[in-house]
């Protein structure tokens, strides 16, 4: 009988490590594949020194697995950031590889729609996930890339948390939620890991997210950018054919000042701006229907007019939006006034040819 994944993990969990624990309990196994008697996996260790220390363990694991009935071959690749092992392609965050010529398309992806904001906390990630879900509900084949490398929030907002698989140690298989194909740098990191990369590492990570993820055929890839005007924005817009960007802002003056900076950046990078979205626009009292303009109102529309750009719509401030995002099912997946606002936004972007 063919060997199973559980049997393999059973064997690996009996192989102790120097310093305590075993291969499974210390969470070192990545991309385990068990097929037709062939076993493949990556042993991910912290550094080259640990890799050296674990060489006998690797040999022990291989021998123990080969001793299982029905096992024909065992292939173990040990990766460490500066180890002697083959390049750790599964590790996200590396120096970018040089790129010849102009912007390179992402295979299978017809359009790239960047969602940016000048200021953090204005709801850019919330808008990205809801827009992606709303577009999928209109029948579009949608991908969502969480490129907010310093504060990835899409795993929580879209309700996914498993680490994506990489069967060959190179291609990363994206996840799927609410009709959207999803990838986030947050899914490749261990919980609580702070990302403290500098520019070149960020560029490399973005390149991996776009080039190594098996996105499949997509009508549109929505990219949730980090706030502000940094290396990720630059890399995306200069190296890839971004169809258009949308800029999210709240109506407050402080947010609008920063939104203007984001618009200026897209203009400098020659990335077309499809328009502006006002988030946390107004609060409608659930009891009496009274509209309160907590952060002001109409500021983003006025800004769009000043800049000669389309105003794409306003999303009200609503407790349900936050609760839905925190619970992992974007509000656009359901029915109701906010979901309808997102449906209108999606229709508009499809009609404009950018989604
Ligand atoms: N329309 C809304 N109504 C109520 N809460 C909202 C709304 N939009 C966003 N929020 C909440 O505001 C918080 C910040 O939103 P979000 O993380 O989307 O912002 P961001 O601009 O992506 O922030 P960051 O700077 O972290 O990237 C979240 O808790 C989110 O649930």
Alpha carbon of 319 to ligand 1 centroid (Å): 11
Ligand 1 atom nearest to CA at 157: 31
Residue 334 is encoded by which pair of tokens?
Answer: 């359901």
pLDDT, residue 178, reads 95
Q: Using an 8 Å Cβ cutoff, are 182 and 158 in contact?
A: yes
Alpha carbon of 225 to ligand 1 centroid (Å): 13
Bridge pairing between strands 38-44 and 29-35 = antiparallel
Integer CA distances (angstroms), 193 to 78, 185, 190, 352, in order: 21, 11, 6, 39
Ligand 1 atom nearest to CA at 279: 1
125 vs 143: CA distance, rounded Å: 14
Q: Which of 355, 325, 321 is nearest to 337 (CA)?
A: 321
pLDDT, residue 196, reads 62
Q: In what order do the strands lie in the sheet with 73-79?
A: 29-35, 38-44, 73-79
CA-proximal residue: ligand 1, atom 5 (nearest): 322
Ligand 1 atom nearest to CA at 151: 26
Alpha carbon of 62 to ligand 1 centroid (Å): 48
Q: Which of 155, 163, 119 is nearest to 29 (CA)?
A: 163
CA-proximal residue: ligand 1, atom 2 (nearest): 317
Binding residues for ATP: 118-125
Q: Which of 121, 300, 327, 342 to mutate to test the pocket of ligand 1 (most atoms within 8 A of CB)?
A: 121
164 vs 194: CA distance, rounded Å: 19
CA-proximal residue: ligand 1, atom 28 (nearest): 322
348 vs 135: CA distance, rounded Å: 10
User: Cα 23 vs. chain centroid, distance in angstroms?
Assistant: 28
The low-confidence residues of the chain, meaning pLDDT below 50, are 82-89
178 vs 187: CA distance, rounded Å: 17
Report ipTM for this prediction: 0.97
pLDDT, residue 44, reads 79
For the segment 118-155, what is each residue's pLDDT rounded down to a tens digit? 888 899 999 999 999 999 999 999 999 999 877 788 99
Q: Using an 8 Å Cβ cutoff, are 240 and 145 in contact?
A: no
Alpha carbon of 348 to ligand 1 centroid (Å): 22
What residues have CB less than 8 Å from 177, skipping those under 6 apart? 158, 159, 160, 328
pLDDT, residue 78, reads 75
- Chain region(s) in the chain for CATH 3.40.50.300: 112-351
As a 3-state breakdown, the chain gives helix, strand, coil percent values, each rounded to 5, of 35, 20, 45
Alpha carbon of 123 to ligand 1 centroid (Å): 3
CATH assignment, 5-79: 3.30.300.130
What is the distance between the terminal CA atoms of the chain, rounded to a whole angstrom? 49
Q: Which of 145, 150, 325 to mutate to test the pocket of ligand 1 (most atoms within 8 A of CB)?
A: 325
Residue 337 neighbours by CB distance under 10 Å: 12
151 vs 120: CA distance, rounded Å: 10
Please give the DSSP secondary-structure letter assigned to residue 242: -
* CATH class in words for 112-351: alpha beta
pLDDT, residue 85, reads 33
- Chain region(s) in the chain for CATH 3.30.300.130: 5-79
- Within 6 Å (CB) of ligand 1, which residues are found? 117, 120-126, 148, 151, 153, 227, 279-280, 315, 317-318, 321-322, 325
Alpha carbon of 126 to ligand 1 centroid (Å): 5
- β-pair partners for 143: 181, 221
């Amino acid at each position: 009988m063919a060997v199973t994944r559980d049997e393999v993990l059973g064997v690996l969990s009996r192989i102790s490590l120097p310093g305590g624990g075993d291969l499974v309990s210390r969470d070192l196994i990545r991309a385990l594949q068990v097929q037709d008697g062939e076993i493949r996996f990556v042993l991910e260790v912290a550094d080259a020194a640990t890799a050296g220390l674990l060489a006998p363990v690797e040999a022990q694991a291989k021998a123990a697995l080969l001793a299982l009935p029905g096992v024909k071959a065992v292939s173990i690749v040990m990766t460490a950031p500066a180890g002697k092992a083959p390049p750790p392609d599964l590790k996200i965050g590396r120096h970018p590889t040089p790129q010849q010529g102009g912007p390179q398309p992402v295979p299978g992806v017809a359009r790239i729609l960047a969602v940016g904001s000048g200021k953090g906390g204005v709801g850019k990630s919330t808008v990205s996930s809801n827009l992606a879900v709303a577009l999928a509900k209109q029948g579009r084949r949608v991908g969502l890339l969480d490129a907010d490398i310093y504060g990835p929030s899409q795993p929580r907002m879209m309700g996914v948390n498993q680490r994506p698989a990489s069967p060959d140690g190179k291609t990363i298989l994206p996840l799927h939620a609410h009709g959207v194909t999803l990838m986030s740098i947050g899914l490749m990191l261990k919980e609580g890991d702070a990302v403290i990369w500098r520019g070149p590492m960020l560029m490399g990570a973005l390149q991996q997210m776009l080039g190594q993820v098996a996105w499949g055929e997509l009508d549109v890839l929505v990219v949730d950018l980090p706030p502000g005007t940094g290396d990720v924005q630059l890399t995306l817009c200069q190296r890839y054919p971004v169809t258009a960007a949308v800029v999210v802002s709240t109506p407050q003056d402080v947010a609008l000042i920063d939104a203007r900076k984001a618009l200026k950046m897209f203009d400098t990078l020659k990335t077309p701006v499809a328009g502006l979205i006002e988030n946390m626009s107004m609060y409608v009292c659930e009891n009496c229907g009274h509209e309160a303009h907590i952060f002001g109102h109409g500021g983003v529309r006025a800004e769009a007019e000043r800049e000669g750009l389309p105003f794409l719509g306003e999303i009200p401030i609503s407790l349900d939006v936050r609760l839905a995002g925190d619970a992992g099912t974007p509000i656009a997946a359901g029915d109701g006034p906010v979901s309808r606002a997102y449906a209108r936004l999606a229709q508009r972007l499809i009609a404009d040819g950018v989604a």
